[in-house]
Amino acid sequence: MNGRPVQYLTLPGTDLRISRLCYGGVSWGTAVRGDAMDRLLNAFRDLGGNFFDTAHCYSFWVPGGTGASELALGDYFRRNGREGMVVATKGGHKSEPGYRRVDRHLSAGRIAADIDDSLARLDIDTIDLYWLHRDDTRVPAGEVVETLNAEVKRGRIRFLGASNWSMARIDDANAYARSHNLRGFTATQPEWSLGAPDTAGRAASTMRFHDDDDRRRCELQKFPVIPYTPTAGGYFGSDGQRAKQAFDNPTGRARLARVQQLAGELGRSNNQIALAYLTSHTFPVIPILGTTNADHMRDAAAATELKLSAQQVAWLRDG
């Protein structure tokens, strides 16, 4: 596929003009590096992609991997230029074996230290979109807003996002921001796809799947969602891989059958239908791609101009 098929939007509440797909960097600098990484990021840019997402903690679960993604992205931009590119990264992650031991991961000091590291690794002065990677409800929403706005005033971050936060908590934070004339959150980054995860098995997780209440709040506010794992780790992918066995349940299988049926009717790939399910909601949705396959990336790019009807979206989800 040639040309520049990725569509664009201005992220509401910001001046960031971003591609309708984001490229996520979990594997950068570890599983993908060097020339292979350059080819993938160049392929994304050739398709019109300009929105990159990484994190302070990527990829701590790989020996020597903490900070590798940010370092690799910074190196890539030094060699290939950054003009027109939008960089998002995340900090404020909770303690994990092999990462760090800290009780208050949303304290002002912890967030400031994470921003210090991220700016140095990325070799930039300001982060376009800064996400808090995990919530900690022990910390009042207003305190978090004050901490982040202090960093905005320092010029180190521009716009704010919340990853793995409930929309109810984001609403609390944004109400505080409005009442104090401060900058609030402009987007949420949950896990979200047509998949139906086993919620019982995720009870102790601080990762959040975009649930019905979150979706209703986003519909009401037209609040942007920038979801990770948008095809359920390949469960709804176009090559038949079922990478996420957690989604292989009766609900998931029924939805997969409907994806396959609609793909056949529209002459599209399964992957494009699964992505269009997300981007056809009434609020802005910018899926995060984690692929290391350029063909999958080109296939996904074509989904940004596919608009499903409200009836098709509801049918894919509910039958």
For residue 205, name the pLDDT band (cuts at 50, 70, 90).
confident
Give residue limits of the domains in the chain. 8-248+282-290
pTM of the predicted model as reported, rounded to 2 decimal places: 0.95
Q: DSSP letters along 47-116, please?
A: TT--EEE--TTTTTTSTT-TTHHHHHHHHHHHHH--TT-EEEEEE-PPPBTTTB--S-TTSHHHHHHHHH
* pLDDT over 60 (residue 177): yes
Residues 282-298 as b or e (16 or more Cβ within 10 Å = b): eebbbbbbbbeeeebbb
Mean pLDDT along residues 201-224: 87
Mean pLDDT along residues 242-262: 85
For residue 5, name the pLDDT band (cuts at 50, 70, 90).
confident
Query: What is the pLDDT at residue 238?
Result: 59
Mean pLDDT along residues 160-185: 98
* pLDDT over 50 (residue 2): no
For the chain, what is the mean pLDDT?
93
Sign of CA dihedral 186, 54, 98, 116: negative
* pLDDT over 80 (residue 200): no
For the domain spanning 8-248+282-290, the CATH number is 3.20.20.100
| 309 phi, psi to nearest 5 deg | -75, 165
Q: How far apart are CA 96 and CA 159, in angstroms?
A: 27
Tens digits of residue pLDDT in 55-105? 999 999 999 999 999 999 999 999 999 999 999 999 999 999 999 988 899
For residue 3, name the pLDDT band (cuts at 50, 70, 90).
very low
Tens digits of residue pLDDT in 106-116? 999 999 999 99
